[in-house]
Amino acid sequence: MAEKERILVIGAAGQVGTELVLKLREVFGETNVIASDIKTPGYEIFEGGPYEILDVLDVKRVNHIVSKHGVKQVYLMAAFLSSTAEQNPGFAWNLNMNGLLNILNMARKEKIAKVFWPSSIAVFGPNSPKEKCLQFVVTEPNTVYGISKLAGERWCEYFFEKSKVDVRSVRYPGLIGYNSQPGGGTTDYAVHIFYQAIKKGSYECYLKADTALPMMYMDDAIRATIEIMEAPSEKVKIRSSYNVSGMSFSPSELAIQIKKHVAQFEISYKPDHRQQYAETWPVSIDDSFAKNNWGWQAEFDLKKMTVDMMQNLKMI
């Protein structure tokens, strides 16, 4: 990246957006990273650099903000996740799809030079392989969120092929971090469990004990995001979205690790509607393409992640 390129993060008040803005500002300078969201973010984001209220569906305002700040790169993090999308499929489709198309169209008109858009392991469905799910397999998602992510991947590749739009993407697994709370996802339990363990010493989980899913620690997710954006263009050979893998665990396996830090911790299970979404997703992911093409390597496994979460949450 030309060092002083201006970056716009859309969805900066969300779980990933918050952490992404903090890291991007650290790396590229506070004034070069414009945070934006439809709502006011936490103090650190708001006070730490430029901030704009922005709805990605409002094309006129997106254009205005891009011109006003001379934005060259966009990280589009605004989306409805799996659980909230099922409650409002029409709006989720509109936000997840038209939000992306608005940004891709701006890039096609050369108003912006580079785009990051996250896909998800939710692109996989009941007919996808469960273990070490490969990059190119049957997808067939059956959640609104998964369908929107798969369609988004096809659009990304289409805009790259037809219009040379420099768009880059990874399929996020469930993400776990301590700086911001998730909302509306199926994998959110893996964050809430830490807060409840420290606060109450117990947690009632909405997934079954043995529901293993692909997960990733936020440090790794943010690093994957920035690394793919910083990789030389020719190394980013897949322009739909890359599988990236961190770790895989079930609620009961996570509970065992948490117990090492909170001895009295108890977990109980009361599966709800999210169980059925989780059951359609793979248990683990093969990320050989990301490793071979642009050198991706996760650093956190379940044990290391739990120690880091506990240390940081107890300090907060």
Beta strands, E only, 113-187: 114-116, 119-120, 166-168, 170-172, 174-176
Single out the residue of 240, 239, 238, 245 nearest to residue 224, CA to CA.
Answer: 245
Single out the residue of 175, 172, 129, 124 nearest to residue 147, CA to CA.
Answer: 124
| Cα 220–chain centre separation | 11
CB of 14 to ligand AKB, least distance (A): 11
Q: How many residues bind ligand AKB (CB under 6 A)?
A: 11
Q: Per the structure block, which two tokens stand in for 236?
A: 């980013």
In sequence order, the 6+-apart residues with CB closer than 8 A to the CB of 105 are none
Q: By CB under 6 A, tell whether 186 contacts ligand AKB.
A: yes
CB of 88 to ligand AKB, least distance (A): 14
Beta strands, E only, the chain: 6-10, 33-37, 51-53, 71-76, 114-116, 119-120, 166-168, 170-172, 174-176, 202-205, 213-217, 242-243, 247-249, 266-269
Please say which residue, 58 or 140, places its beta carbon nearer to ligand AKB.
140
Please say which residue, 11 or 174, places its beta carbon nearer to ligand AKB.
174
Among 122, 170, 221, 247, binds ligand AKB (CB under 6 A): 122
Please say which residue, 28 or 172, places its beta carbon nearer to ligand AKB.
172
Select from 130-138, 183-191, 200-208, 218-226 the region that touches ligand AKB (CB under 6 A).
Answer: 183-191
Among 32, 36, 82, 250, binds ligand AKB (CB under 6 A): 82
Q: By CB under 6 A, tell whether 187 contacts ligand AKB.
A: yes
Q: Which of 145, 172, 178, 206 is catalytic?
A: 145
Q: Can you tell me the distance from the alpha carbon of 157 to that of 100, in angstroms, rounded to the nearest whole number? A: 12
Among 13, 54, 121, 156, binds ligand AKB (CB under 6 A): 121
Beta strands, E only, 250-308: 266-269
CB of 15 to ligand AKB, least distance (A): 8
Among 51, 155, 172, 249, binds ligand AKB (CB under 6 A): 172
Neighbours of 2 (CB within 10 A): 6
User: Among this protein's residues, is 242 annotated catalytic?
Assistant: no
Q: By CB under 6 A, tell whether 73 contacts ligand AKB.
A: no
Among 81, 212, 255, 305, binds ligand AKB (CB under 6 A): 81
DSSP classification of residue 248: E
Q: Which of residues 239-278 bind ligand AKB (CB under 6 A)?
A: none
Q: Can you tell me the distance from the alpha carbon of 124 to that of 285, in angstroms, rounded to the nearest whole number? A: 10
Please say which residue, 62 or 170, places its beta carbon nearer to ligand AKB.
170
3-state secondary structure at position 41: coil
Catalytic annotation, residues: 145
Residue numbers at the binding site for ligand AKB (CB under 6 A)? 81-82, 120-122, 145, 172, 174, 185-187
